[in-house]
Amino acid sequence: MKNAYNAKAYSAASATSPLAADTIPRRNPTDRRDVQIEILFCGVCHSDLHQVRNEWSEAMPTVYPCVPGHEIVGRVTKVGSKVERYKEGDLVAVGCMVDSDQTCPRCQENLEQFCPNVTFTYNSPDKHLGTVTHSGYSDSIVVDERFVLRVPSNLDPAGVAPLLCAGITTYSPMRHWGVTKGKKVGVVGLGGLGHMGVKFADALGAHVVVFSTSPGKTEDAMRLGADEVVISRNEDEMQKHAGSFDFILDTVSASHDINAYLNLLERDGNITLVGAPEKPLALSAFSLLVNRRSLSGSRIGGIAETQEMLDFCGEHDLTADVEVIPIQKINEAYERLLKSDVKYRFCIDMASLKAEWTADMPT
Ligand SMILES: NC(=O)c1ccc[n+]([C@@H]2O[C@H](COP(=O)([O-])OP(=O)(O)OC[C@H]3O[C@@H](n4cnc5c(N)ncnc54)[C@H](OP(=O)(O)O)[C@@H]3O)[C@@H](O)[C@H]2O)c1
Ligand SMILES: [Zn+2]
Ligand SMILES: [Zn+2]
């Protein structure tokens, strides 16, 4: 391919194929605003799994081969002539977006995640190569500097990677809905997003209640910043909290009863869905009518807010709890994600990808 080089990657060839070693084209960093990044760590988001297995076929069908991964931390290896913010050697990060039109009202308001022409880090049309965007399960990426973020120097890079999706996706709705001291906040599901939600709600001063289906996570939830833990399958425990929450963040990745959580909201309380299950959720109108409750959604966060979140994490010495894995364990990690067996984010050490490469593979 013209103006492109081959990068090493792990890709899925179809919805039923395991991820396996591959080479993918990356544009040469010739564009004046391009930043070329050697990827050091990439977090494993449940969205990677949904996308690889084409579980969102109606909203965003997967184009194969699919290279997922939108929680990227790496080192700058080359910059274009017009790049002002970064230089070779800087530790930087890339999240779920790599471009947008920069001109629409949403972009003007720093809400690029809602831009009608946003380019996601994977599974979006690639304007430069005419293919589909390929993401972080690879050894390098080339990104417009406007979508590259600064990493606070005091934080561990592996623990920073998940902030780029799990972090901003939980931080943004909490800021939007005014999570502060004195508010009672629920976090449903203690996985990658959920554990970051607990850390942020705690750092923002709220009274934090975790709802989990996994009794074995109680101790961890308290350590992460929860004030109380409710095992959501226990109806009596749920009932004790009826009508008492200001805000609930729902991070669950699979079908579940949303009404059970709506019933826990106080007057004018809000529940925000960030989890994106494959199938629609059933909603009882009465769960909303009572107490003038609202149900909303939220998608990641804009670039400026993502930088704000990273800086907040730098100030509060806050990172994700990661289980660092070699990329060769990725298929196993997906199976464990489906069993809610993660403490609390898998993060790929990309040195393992470079080590795997053998001489007979094209470079
Ligand atoms: N809106 C956005 O912009 C955005 C961004 C990133 C991810 N997402 C979506 O958010 C969801 C969560 O992502 P994640 O990476 O945090 O996933 P994850 O690490 O797998 O965590 C999901 C958690 O949900 C709970 N859970 C799983 N299955 C359940 C079930 N059947 N019933 C009740 N609870 C269940 C589990 O927590 P317990 O063991 O504590 O019950 C699990 O740990 C995914 O759907 C993902 O695609 C959305
Ligand atoms: Zn994600
Ligand atoms: Zn726009």
**What is the position in ligand 1's atom list of the atom closest to the CA of 46?**
15
Contact predicate 247/187, CB 8 Å: no
| Spacing, Cα 82 to ligand 2 middle (Å) | 30
pLDDT means per 10 residues, the chain with 363 residues, are: 92 98 93 94 98 95 98 97 96 98 98 98 96 97 98 98 98 98 98 98 98 97 98 96 98 96 98 95 96 98 98 98 98 97 97 78 53
Q: Alpha carbon 120 to chain centroid distance? A: 12
Atom of ligand 1 nearest to the CA of 252: 24
- What is the whole-number distance in angstroms between the Cα of residue 15 and the centre of ligand 1? 20
How far, in Å, CA of 343 to CA of 348, rounded? 14
Ligand 1 atom nearest the C-alpha of 345 is: 19
Paired strand residues for 25: 6
pLDDT of residue 30: 78
Pocket of ligand 1 (CB under 6 A): 45-47, 50, 165-166, 169, 189-194, 212-214, 217, 251-254, 256, 274-277, 298-300, 337, 340, 342
What is the structure's pLDDT at 341?
96
| Closest ligand, as measured to the CA of 51 | 1
pLDDT for residue 362: 52
Residue 359's pLDDT is 46
Q: Can you tell me the distance from the alpha carbon of 353 to that of 4, in angstroms, rounded to the nearest whole number?
A: 20
**Protein residues with C-beta less than 5 angstroms from the ion ligand 3:** 100-101, 104, 107, 115
Provide CB contacts within 8 A for 184, sequence distance 6+. 206, 207, 209, 244, 245, 246, 247, 266
Question: What is the Å distance from ligand 2's center to 45 Cα?
Answer: 5
Residue to probe by mutation, ligand 1, list 193, 224, 300, 337, most atoms within 8 Å of CB: 193
| Ligand 2: centre distance to CA 110 (Å) | 19
Which residue has the CA at smallest separation from atom 35 of ligand 1?
A: 252
Measured in angstroms, how far is the CA atom of residue 128 from the centroid of ligand 3? Answer: 18
Would you give the DSSP letter of residue 153? T
pLDDT in tens, 23-69: 999 999 977 899 999 999 999 999 999 999 999 999 999 999 999 99
CA of residue 2 to ligand 1 center, whole Å = 40
Cα 278 to ligand 2 centroid, rounded to whole Å:
15
pLDDT value, residue 146: 97
Instruction: Count H helices and E strands in the chain, helices first.
Output: 12, 17
pLDDT at 361: 57
For residue 105, give the ligand nearest its CA.
Answer: 3
Q: How many CB atoms lie within 10 A of CB 245?
A: 23
Beta-strand pair 119-120/184-188 = unpaired
Place of tokens 């939220």: 298
pLDDT in tens, 84-139: 999 999 999 999 999 999 999 999 999 999 999 999 999 999 999 999 999 999 99
Q: Which atom of ligand 1 is nearest to the CA of 211?
A: 40
Write down the pLDDT at residue 356.
84
Q: How far is the CA of 111 from the centre of ligand 3 (A)?
A: 8
